[in-house]
Chains A and B, each alone.
Chain A
Amino acid sequence: MNRIERSILSNGLRVAIVPIAGLRSTSVLLAVEAGQWFEPAGRAGIARLMAQAMLRGTKMRDATTWAGALDALGAVARLDVGQHAAVFSAQCLGTDLRELLDLMAEAIRTPALADAEIEFVRAQTLAQLEKDERDTRAVSDRAWRQLVYPDGHPFRVPPIGDASVVRTARPDEIRAHHRSAIAPDGAVLVIAGGTTARDGAAAADHAFGKWAKRTEPHETRHPLATLSTTKHRVELVPDKTQSDVIIGWPGLPRTDPRFTAARVTNMVYAADTFASRAGHVIRDQLGLAYYVFSGMGASRGQSPWIVRMGVNPQNVKRAIEVALDELRKVTVGQIADDDLALAKDKLVGELDVALESPGGVAAMVLEAEMFDLGDDHFERYPRELRAVTKDQVVDIARLFLPPERYALAVAGPPLPDILV
C-alpha cells in the first residue's frame, strides 16, 4: 500500500490521502454515516430518496447548473446508499480535484432539496421499483431480506426502500433526515490517485472545513436478526428462463474481531465461482449454473451473508442441495489444506492487485478508516489472513452459516420441484 496521509478536520471529518505517482486521475470516496443503518425506523427508502435529491441542485445552483458544472470537469460521480454509509464516489482529473470537492461539498452541505426535485426523484424511484417487480435478482433479494430480518430492522428491505414509504415521504421528512444524518462526525473522505498530500489536504479543507458538526446525538438501536429455523420463499416472476437463488444468513459486523476469519471462511466456501468449493462443484463439476458466488457486507450490523446462483428451474433443487452439502463439509472440517491455503493466498494476493487502480486503493482505505481498523491495518491484515486456522473456519461456518438453519429465496419461472 502506498503511504496514507491521515488528518482530522476540526469538525471531525477524517481525511485519508493516498498520492499515486504517474496517474492523471483521482478517485474520491466520501462516506457519511447515512446508510440504511441510520434510517428512521419503518421508513425504508428515506435515505436513498434524500441522497438522490441531494444530486438535484443546491442552494447556490439549480440541478441543471450543478450537473453542467460536474460534466464540465469531465468528472463522474454518484451517491449510493449502502448498509452502513451513504457513499459519494467520484473520479476526476487530478488537476480538477479542488473543483470536484467543492461541488461535492455543495451537494452534501447545502442541497436545495426543493419540492419539485424531490417529486422528480420520487417518480424515478417508483419507476425503478416497478421495474424491479419483474427482475429476478431484485425479487429474490427482497424476498430473502423479509425472511431474515425482523420488522423495524434496517436491512429488511433493500436501500431503494418500500414503495409505500417512497410514495408517502414528505419533503419535510427528507429535509429533516438530511439535517440529522449528513454530518462530518463519523464521516470519512478518501482521495487516491494523481494528487499530492498537500494539494489533497488543502482541497479537502477548502471544501469541507466549514461543514458544521452534528448538533444532536446520532444513536441507533436495532433488533437482532436470528434464524431459528430454515425459511423458504419462492416468488414466481413471469416470462423468465432462469431462477435467481439466494441462500443466506445474517452476517457479522465489520468491527467484529472474527471478521477476518469470516472472510477466509467465505472464500473457502463460495465467494468465488472458480476458487471456492460451491462454485467448483456446482459449475465446474456439474454444470448447473453459470455463476455461483457468495458475499458478506461490511457494516456495523448483521449485513447479509448470502450465496447467489443463476440456475435453470429444472436444476434449482439440485443446486441448492449441492450448495448446502459443500457447506456441511466446511462445518465438519472436511476442508482440504490446499483449499484453505488457496483462500488465504487469494485474499492476500488481491490486496496487491487492487493497487492497480486509484478506485481500488480508495475502496481499501475507506473500509479501514470507516471501521477504525487501525493505522497499521495494511501491515497487519495480510498476516492476520495468513494466520486463520481451519478450526477458526469451521467455528465461523458453524456459528454463522449453519446448514440446518438458513433462509432461501428463489425468484423466476415455476419450479418443477417442491423445495420444502
Chain B
Amino acid sequence: MLYALEARHAPVVSLWVWYHVGGRNEVPGTTGMSHFLEHMLFKGTTKHPKGDLDRLLARYGAQWNAFTSEDVTCYFETVPKAHYKTALELESDRMRNALISIEETEAERTVIVSEREGYENDPSFLLGEELQAVAFSRHTYGQGVIGSKDEIKLMTRDGLYAHYRRFYAPNNSYVVVTGDDEPDRLIEDAAAAFAPLEPSRDLGEPPKAPEPEQHGERRVVVHRAGGTLPIVMLAFRAPRATDPRAAALSALVVALAGTSTGSDGASGRSSRLHRALVETGLATDVDASFQLMKDPYLLWADATLRPGVKHADVERVLLEELAKVATDLVGDAEFERVRRQLLAATAFNTDTITWRAYRCGQLLSTGAANSIGEWYDKLAGVTREQIRDAARDILTERARNVGWFVPENAA
C-alpha cells in the first residue's frame, strides 16, 4: 500500500515504511525479536554493506531513525528532495535483502542489552513494564516491546532471519511519503521501487489472543532504590483505534492532563489532574495518554509525587478526578479549551513534514482513520457527552490496574 501527501513548505521528502510486525507477533522465549530485528536492518545488504546506509543518509543531512512498537516496526528518513529516490532504493533493498549475519547479530546484541539497561535506569520504565505485564493475561501486549534481557541474550540469528523473511515484504507493509512534490509523482517513484519485490508467502494469520474481560482491580508494587520520588500509575483497559470511542478518549486525556510540554511547561495547567494534584502540592508532574492501537490496549494516567506524600492520598485524588469526568459533563469553557488544545496539537504535529507522515501512517496502520483530515474531523466532532460516556465505560474499578513505585533507601 502506498500513500502520499503533499507538503510544499520545505524542499524535503519524508519516507516512512511501516511493517505489520511488533511485540504482538512474539511469544515467550522470543520477546524483543521484532525490536532486535529493527536494529539488524541497519547492518547491511549485499548491495549496501554495513555502514553504507548510515553514511549516505548522514551525507544528505537526513533525519532518520526506526522504532518498534507493540503493533508495528517503522523506518523513516527525511531527506532533501533530490535524494528521495536514493531513500526509496535503500528502503526497498533492505525490505528483502538484509544480510543479518551471525557476526553482526552478536555485535548488536550488546547494543540492545545496553539500550534496555538504559531504560532500566528509569523508575517510570520499571513500573510501566510491570504494570503492562499485569494488565494482560493472554494478549501479547503484556510483553512490551524491547523484550526481557535474558531472551535478548538468547536470540538466534536464524530465528531473526526467519522473522525477517516472514514479515518484511511488500504485502505486509505500507509506505507513506510526505513532501515537496505532486503526490502522484511521489507514489509513482515509490511504486517503481517496491513493486518488483517478492511478497512473503508465509505471513499466516495475524496473532489472535483476545484478552479476556477483566473482572477486578489488579495491583503491582515495585520497591527499588533507583528513584527517590514515589510514582502512582493507573492503566485502564481501553478500546482499539477503530472503536467509535477512540476520538473521545483522545479528548478525555487532554481534559485530564492537557497536551503536555513536561513538568516545567506552562501549558496543560488548566487540566483536571494538574489542578488536583500539582497545584495542590501532592505531585510534581502528571500525565495521561491514550494510544491508537490495533487491539484493545490501555489508557494511562500517572503522577510523580512530591517528597513525603503518600501513594494512597494521590491515588485517591486521581480516582476522584476520574470519577468526576465519568459522571459529569465537562463545562462549556473547559470543553472549548480541550477542543482547541486537541485541534491545535494536530496542526502543530502535522506542520512538520516528518511528523505529518508519521501521523498519517499511524492512523492507517491502526485503522483509526483513512487520512489526517478524517481523523481531524472525528476529533472536531467529539461532544461533551461522548467524553463523559467514554470515561464512564473505560475508567471502571473492574478494568483498573494500579502500580506504585516505592523508593527504597540505598543499601
Residues of A within 8 A of B (CB): 20-25, 52, 55, 63-64, 67-68, 70-80, 91-93, 107, 120, 123-124, 126-128, 130-131, 133-136, 193-194, 237-242, 244, 272, 274-275, 280, 283-291, 310-312, 315, 342, 345-353, 355-360, 412
Q: Which of A107, A272, A289, A352 contacts B80 (CB 8 A)?
A: A352
Are the CB atoms of B8 and A22 closer together than 8 Å? yes
Closest Cβ neighbor of A127 among chain B residues: B284
Are the CB atoms of A353 and B266 closer together than 8 Å? no
The reply on B118 being an interface residue by CB < 8 A is yes
Inter-chain contacts of B344 with A (CB < 8 A): 25, 73-75, 92-93
Contacts A77-B265, A123-B306 given; does A349 touch B61 at CB 8 Å: yes
Contacts A71-B268, A290-B118 given; does A91 touch B348 at CB 8 Å: yes
Residues of B within 8 A of A (CB): 7-12, 14, 50-51, 54-55, 58-63, 78-80, 106-115, 117-118, 120-121, 224-229, 258-259, 261-271, 275, 279, 281, 284, 304, 306-307, 333, 336-337, 340-345, 347-348, 351-355, 407-408, 410-411
Output the least CB separation between B60 and chain A (Å).
Answer: 5
Output the least CB separation between B260 and chain A (Å).
Answer: 9
Task: Count A-B pairs with CB separation below 8 Å.
Answer: 230
Are the CB atoms of A77 and B267 closer together than 8 Å? yes
Inter-chain contacts of A347 with B (CB < 8 A): 61
Q: Which of B9, B225, B261 contacts A239 (CB 8 A)?
A: B225
Q: Which of A71, A238, A239, A242 contacts B267 (CB 8 A)?
A: A71
Closest Cβ neighbor of A355 among chain B residues: B10
Q: Which of B55, B264, B271, B279 contacts A342 (CB 8 A)?
A: B55
Are the CB atoms of A283 and B111 closer together than 8 Å? yes
Are the CB atoms of A290 and B10 closer together than 8 Å? no
Inter-chain contacts of A238 with B (CB < 8 A): 225-226, 410-411
Are the CB atoms of B62 and A71 closer together than 8 Å? no
Inter-chain contacts of A412 with B (CB < 8 A): 121
Q: Which of B7, B50, B62, B261 contacts A76 (CB 8 A)?
A: B261
Are the CB atoms of B267 and A80 closer together than 8 Å? no
Contacts A127-B307, A134-B228, A355-B10 given; does A241 touch B262 at CB 8 Å: no
Inter-chain contacts of A133 with B (CB < 8 A): 228
Inter-chain contacts of B410 with A (CB < 8 A): 238-239
Are the CB atoms of B351 and A24 closer together than 8 Å? yes
Tell me, in angstroms, the Cα distance from A407 to B226 when the chains sit together: 26
Are the CB atoms of A124 and B266 closer together than 8 Å? no
Q: Which of A71, A131, A312, A356 contacts B229 (CB 8 A)?
A: A131
Inter-chain contacts of B345 with A (CB < 8 A): 74, 76
Output the least CB separation between B111 and chain A (Å).
Answer: 5
Tell me, in angstroms, the Cα distance from A67 to B260 when the chains sit together: 13
Inter-chain contacts of A91 with B (CB < 8 A): 348
Q: Which of B12, B114, B228 contacts A242 (CB 8 A)?
A: B114
Tell me, in angstroms, the Cα distance from A358 to B407 when the chains sit together: 41
Contacts A238-B411, A353-B12 given; does A78 touch B265 at CB 8 Å: yes
Tell me, in angstroms, the Cα distance from A412 to B410 when the chains sit together: 13
Are the CB atoms of A128 and B120 closer together than 8 Å? no
Closest Cβ neighbor of A160 among chain B residues: B264
**For the complex of A and B, 7 pairs with smallest distance between CB atoms:** A349-B61, A74-B344, A239-B226, A67-B269, A275-B58, A238-B410, A357-B352
Contacts A136-B121, A239-B225, A241-B120 given; does A124 touch B284 at CB 8 Å: yes
Closest Cβ neighbor of B224 among chain A residues: A239
Are the CB atoms of B270 and A64 closer together than 8 Å? yes
Are the CB atoms of A351 and B51 closer together than 8 Å? no
Inter-chain contacts of A64 with B (CB < 8 A): 269-270, 275, 279
Closest Cβ neighbor of B123 among chain A residues: A134
Are the CB atoms of A24 and B347 closer together than 8 Å? yes
Contacts A72-B337, A77-B265, A287-B111 given; does A134 touch B226 at CB 8 Å: yes
Are the CB atoms of A345 and B118 closer together than 8 Å? no
Inter-chain contacts of B111 with A (CB < 8 A): 283, 287, 289-290
Most chain A beta-carbon contacts within 10 A, residue among B259, B348, B407, B410? B348
Are the CB atoms of B120 and A55 closer together than 8 Å? no
Closest Cβ neighbor of A280 among chain B residues: B51
Tell me, in angstroms, the Cα distance from A123 to B342 when the chains sit together: 30
